[in-house]
Amino acid sequence: MNALASARAIIRAPLGKRERTWQDRYTLVLAIAVLGAIAAEPLSRVWNRIVAPAATTDPATIGTGLGLVILAYTGLIALARLAGPIVVSPADAAWLVPSPLTRRAVLRPAALRLLVASVIAGAVLGVTALAVLGVPDLATLRVAGAVLIAVAACVGGAALAVLAQRGDPESDWLGVALAALAALAIVAGLAAASGAALPWRSLLTALPRIPASALVGAAVAACLAATGLTVRAWRALSGFPSRAVIGSSARVGQATGAIVTLDPGLLTWIAEDNHWRARRLRSRPWPRLPAPLALAWAEARRLGRRPARLAALLAAAAFPALTTVATGGITPPVAVVLFAGALTAAASATAVTRRDSENPTLIRMTGVSRQAARAARAILPALLAAAWLAVALAALGLVGPGVAAGASWWAFAPLCAPPIAVAALRMAGRGPIDHSLPVLDTPGGPVPLGPLFWGLTGIDVAVLGCAPALAALLLQPAQTTGFLTAQAVATALTVGGFLLRGRGTSSGPPSDVARPARLLSLIFNLARRSAGRDGGGFWRSPDSRAALA
């Protein structure tokens, strides 16, 4: 242990060590107090929801809420398995992990961080489940039992993720178990929301009234199982393979670097490269198709080699329906989830387009015109978006409260798919964030236009191209003929402009983004000066007029 402490001190010595002053402690205490004040109101609402009488809770809401909680749990465990979950710093991964030091002592801090994160996540999920169910009486044992069950589930899942990272044979079933649990949660939530599971409605209503003794017994059993898995994972740290730790630490370090440099697009590049780097693919001849379709076929082949991604996209189509039941009707968050899911499905088939945008020489070597290549590569994203929207709208019409029954919602799927595909291709062609753009001083605070323009690129096309469908979804008309006609016109305009646009999906020179930003700067400066106020300092640049040159 002394050798390990000495090694850590040597590694961290160049960074310098400064003793904490009273200003540091004051800042920490003040930050905790501010966070507590911010979280006080949401926590009070959650507490009021917990102590609300359970008899007033709809069984459909209970089933849907529990389904969302289970989905959140499976997502957290899957994220932990993807990230590591045993991760150390790059310096420790480079020097301490391959060293002769005791492996368990080197990995102890990472294991403790994982344990603390699992306990916090379990407590949050337990409180959320209580908010969904409600507690008929303020029984301490009842509340503690529910929270302990959630904490034990998260700790046990994290231990299984550690065993999966180590490579134990029995832990290979963790991914299958998570997929089955997520599918069961989706099916159960949809069945409870639609009212098809009538025999289960009485069980859902009786869940908040489970005796406290039964909850305590289940909590004890869950804690014992989680303890056994945790002890086994702790013993496995002594023989943990260094390759797994170094690989996980490299992935997390790359993701952290992308977040620190404010370039989220780099995360997808890292994920794609890490997925294909260790795989061998057989060389096959190009299909006998026209040249533009052959280029698009490469994207279809890449997506077909990852069936798990397609299955996850199909399962995510149930989220809008579950969100509708949980929120009590069609609300703006439901529309956001619906079109964000369709845009995600379309963006999953744009990796080759991103490669060509980074290196335009590749597309020139094929001898295919840019317009033909763009039109061909928009087919697969449009098909994915249409399929995702069709499934999501079907589930929304089946279980969503407040959805007009006589409206032809299915017709919006093929009409909204082309604008969403265009938006996905536009997102694939954007370059990194231009941090050289100035910061706009607004009454709400400074707004950096670099990340703002980067984030809105593509989303603006999706919102404008699907505006009639969004309006129909929020207004819920009895007849959607007029909205369908308007959506057809918007789709034709969006697709026509996309095909006729000369620059296509390439990121283009920096002036494509900088020019409208600087023009906006000049407009705001002129407006402020006409109002009799000083325009200086409105942009964080020396002279906005000179920047337009």
The pLDDT score that the predictor gives to residue 65 is 81
Q: How far apart are CA 226 and CA 233, in angstroms?
A: 10
Q: How confident is the model over 306-334, as a mean pLDDT?
A: 82
Return the amino acid letter for 272. Answer: E
Between CA 519 and CA 526, with CA 521 as vertex, the angle to 5 degrees is 100
Max mean pLDDT among 24-33, 138-147, 321-330 falls in 24-33
- What is the percent of the chain where pLDDT is above 70? 74
Q: Which tokens sit at 183?
A: 């599918």
In this predicted structure, what is the pLDDT of residue 540?
A: 39
The average pLDDT across 434-461 equals 78
The 10s digit of each residue's pLDDT in 468-488 is 998 888 887 877 888 889 999
Higher pLDDT, 133 or 346: 346
**Is the pLDDT at 536 greater than 50, yes or no?**
no
pLDDT attached to residue 280: 75
What residues contact residue 461 under an 8 Å CB cut-off, 6+ apart? 419, 422, 423, 426, 494, 498
Q: Give every CB contact of residue 529 below 8 A, 6+ residues apart in sequence.
A: 535
| Alpha carbon distances (Å) from 505 to 156, 157, 461, 482 | 46, 42, 13, 32
In sequence order, which residues have a C-beta less than 8 Å from that of residue 307 and are 6 or more positions away?
none
Provide the CB-side half-sphere exposure for 194 (13 A, CA).
Answer: 16
Check residue 136 and give its pLDDT: 61
pTM of the model: 0.72
Cα–Cα dist 113/117, whole Å: 6
Amino acid 508: pLDDT: 38
What percent of the chain clears pLDDT 90, i.e. is strictly above it? 15
pLDDT tens for 183-241 read 888 887 777 776 654 566 667 767 777 777 888 888 899 999 999 999 999 998 888 88
For residue 68, is pLDDT > 90?
A: no
- Residue-wise pLDDT for 349-367, tens only, equals 888 888 777 777 777 777 7
Per-residue pLDDT averaged across 441-459, rounded?
78
Q: What does residue 446 show for φ and ψ, rounded to 5 degrees?
A: -70, 140
| pLDDT at 153 exceeding the cut of 90 | yes
The number of beta carbons lying within 10 Å of the beta carbon of residue 528 is 15
Interacting residues of 499 by C-beta distance below 8 A, sequence separation 6+: 371, 374, 375
- The pLDDT tens digits for 368-383 are 777 788 888 889 999 9
Cα(38)–Cα(35) distance, integer angstroms: 5
Helix, strand, coil in percent for the chain, rounding step 5: 75, 0, 25
At 49 the pLDDT is 64
Q: What is the mean pLDDT of residues 173-177?
A: 80
Q: Can you give 258-269 as a three-state secondary structure string?
A: HHHCCCCHHHHH
Sequence-distant (≥ 6) Cβ neighbours of residue 393 within 8 angstroms: 338, 409, 410, 412, 413
Please report which residue ranges of 237-378 form alpha helices under DSSP H. Answer: 242-260, 265-277, 291-304, 307-316, 319-327, 332-347, 351-358, 360-365, 370-377
Residue 511 has pLDDT above 50, yes or no: no
Instruction: Return the amino acid letter for 71.
Output: L
Mean pLDDT of 526-541: 45
8 A C-beta contact, residue 158 and residue 80:
yes
**pLDDT of 56 higher than 70:** no
- The token pair at 350 is 């744009």
